[in-house]
Structure 1
Amino acid sequence: MKRRTALKFAAALALTTSLATGAVSAETIRIGAAAPKTGPLAGGAAVSQWPNVTLWAAQVNERGGINVGGTMMPVEIIEYDDQTNPGETIKAIQRLATQDQVHFIVSPYGTGLVVAAAPIFARYGYPLIAVSAITDQQPALSKQFPDMFFTLGTTSALAEDTVKILTDMRDAGQLGNKIAMVNVADAFGIELAGVARDRFTEAGFDIVYDTSYPLGTQDLSPVMKGAKAAAPDAFVAWSYPPDTFALTEQAIIEDLQVQAFYTAVATPFPAFGARFGTAANGVMGPGGVNVDDARFQDYATAHEAVTGVKPDFWASATTYASLEILEQAIEAVGLDRKAVADHLRTGTFDTVLGPISFDENNNNQAFWTVGQWQDGVFRGVASRNRDGAVPVILKDGWQ
């Protein structure tokens, strides 16, 4: 692992400016972050995770820091690459807690890495806003780790809303009854496929192809050839970023003709739309946003101005919102981690996505579940308690 103390220059600038007014202590709030910079999930973290840590820290320091009991304190980010390896995630969190002695730690990236790190967060008394963990185990996890909070929703919500969209399409005569489904064989993909399999069966769909592939698989052409041979009406993949791109590319190569095409993480990435152009039109995936919301537009503008890249249309804003939540909790109760965790349980937080609060299972109840590329923009088409969803369009070939 290599330690990087990012944004010190921004902290120093904010400190110099603030000292001129006599408003700031020299101490910084140390924020730890461990997520992939290498390995299979590095591409996803490079879009949804790291730029938002950079953006948030830069904005905090530009306005002089976080108000802690009347003292403005800048933030310092201490970063580690966990190499998409749960063992490295655990070691990085331990080092942040014991050697770097950071005040708070940002959630790791990806369901499997978050769940692996949860006991370490708990051992050292750090609240965990598990921004990129999607699981139906939230009640059990929040009971085992009372200071663990969830923002992106549950496995069942994502799978059920996807199945409902396809059911509505079928009932409207827009879609046949045959489903091809594949999944990456890690915690995220296995759990989503399990729920979706049951829901598709309950809805009367015929799952004509159902397979999984290991995380990091390079050649997915056999998977897509198998799906095409099954002659499905809809294709659904519970996938991670490298395979999301690879599966879509193989679908185009194989000329897979379906009325509905769904891939998971990375589908909302701007790079997906840029890479596939008009062929992306009609492709569905998890999440989405209300792109017409002024707050999202302001956030997206700032994101690109500070980081040089565009945010994605799902987890980027949620990751940023989790940092807004942490900032507001610190301003409310100070740097005591237990007090912050208690405030997370009871507070309502004003974020880029609107108000967020947590229920008895420490789960956010307002989130996007399904989005779709429509004329170059990935728009939300289904949500739980969020406004701005637009109607679904049919996938009309790969032109």
Structure 2
Amino acid sequence: MKGFRGEILSLSHDPAGAPDAVRHEADGLLVVEAGRVVARGAFAEVAPRFPGLAVERLKGLIVPGFIDAHVHYPQLGRIASHGAQLLDWLERHIFPAEKAFADPVHAAGVAEAFLDELLRHGTTSALVFGTVHAASVEAFFAAAEARELRMICGKVLMDLGPEGLRDTVEEARSESEALIAKWHGRARLGYAVTPRYALTSTDAQLAVAGDLLAAHPGVLLHTHLAENTREIAEVAARFPEAADYLDAYDRFALVTDRSVFAHGVHLPDRSCERLAESGAGIAVCPSSNFFLGSGMFDFAQAERHGVRLGLGSDIGAGTSLSLLHNAGLAYQAGLPGGHVLDPFRALWLATGGSARLLHIDGEVGLLAEGQEADFVVLDDAATPLMARRTAGASLAERLFALQILGDDRAVRRTYVLGRCVWDRDAGHGHA
């Protein structure tokens, strides 16, 4: 058993219209045993309950580990690829890079580098795309299991993909079934059925995705939705009988409370109503949406309909794995539509909101008693400018400055199950 003393902040639920969601101890104590939080509260109140407890003093703001609701680990090396919107960008930069993941050794190397980067940025859980190759998912899960991380991943289904990135209806079913049997629920791992997007799968393969989702009640559905106007037009042409893009998925039983749709930049109200009714949600990816010129997510529309939201980096179209940075961009994305994203709600989206979207909020995201002890220590004076802005500032102002000015430099330490796995000042991770 070990104690961690410092300033602690988390959200117990969505703070939109609920100020009691903020849980903050200016001088707090987090008590961890066997990788779980067994007590949390003001130091003066909690410490006497644990006489003789070894306590480490942490300098900075302790928050739950960030949870990335949508990211592509195979695209790590293609971040910052110039000059195209979504469909052309995929053809030019991404599909050629993903073909290399047929090689398990290559996949394993990228998986390790990707997880190093996540932890350096304070991200301790994520919903992750592999490639069409089962080996890419095997490599990712093996690397995540060795680090005891809570991660969800899936083999991409795309029987209409380009040469070298194409599976079959039969492979989609058999390889997904085998991966689910081996990895889902093992250690801290979970599986997501992962059609790339509506245009890269035949109707028969989308039907298989629906079958897999129905047959395995614990797995998620992870795909893309309404990201780019050209993509939407092509989906409308391919599925003329569908009411909208979401309906194209709905016809194959892919819209459920376990469905996570990335982007949702251009959604008609009917889609938002259906998302809210089904319990499905959107992984908002502001950095990616800006970078590919896709547009800005309509937070006001989503809020009107009560759509469940999380926050994603969407590397490699996203330009930073930092969910602090992405939270700051989410604020900027909301302003043109008249939505002012509160910094506490932005933190919620990056922690408990994404956890709820991924159905892992019973285990992580709240830094609550009984949860797994994944947390991050943030330094709001990580740069001279941040130090100047946050000196003497309120908690809300400090949090907002971290989101607007912060990135991986603001992550002093990352802890997984109460164990330090990244220490900025030491310049390395810890076993």
Give TM-score, length-normalised by structure 2: 0.29
Q: Which has the higher contact order (CA 8 A, sep 6+)?
A: 2
Give TM-score, length-normalised by structure 1: 0.31
